Amino acid sequence: MKKFSKEYIDKLINLLDFSKIEGDLVPVITQDSQTNEILMLAFSNKEAVRRSLETGYAHYYSRSRRELWKKGETSGHVQEIQHIITDCDSDSLLFKVKQIGAACHKGFYSCFYNEFVDGEIKVIAEKVFEPEEVYKKQ
């Protein structure tokens, strides 16, 4: 897992354009660093990017809950950041991660497990865990 210096973190945050999405957010595509499988799409604000780089674990900003969250804080299915890549306009990020457990809260390794085929959605992956067992309501 990588951790980044304060100088590196500040430079990346200053490089990124957070102004294009309401709430000062950037989209973050998360990809398995070994297989290149796309795991999920989320959003990060400056604080989420800073926390991700400080800790080496992916953090995001929930638009629905309006709060910062660490991927895997409930399930233990964390994402260890291996590489960070920006797009050509510096308004999107790609986190290449070592995924521990599964990325999808519905029990699949990737959130992209549905394929649109012949006018229908087909599940194209197997569940790796049962959400009811991992996210027991207290």
Would you kindly state where each structural domain of the chain is located, as residue ranges?
Answer: 6-134
Q: Give tens-digit pLDDT for 71-127.
A: 999 999 999 999 999 999 999 999 999 999 999 999 999 999 999 999 999 999 999
Q: CB–CB of 124/116 below 8 Å?
A: no
Tokens in use for 38? 């796309």
138 falls in which pLDDT band (50, 70, 90)?
very low
* Topology of domain 6-134, CATH: Ubiquitin-like (UB roll) (3.10.20)
pLDDT surpasses 80 at 3: no
The number of C-alpha atoms within 13 Å of 17 and in the hemisphere containing its C-beta is: 10
CA separation for the pair 124, 134 (Å, rounded): 22
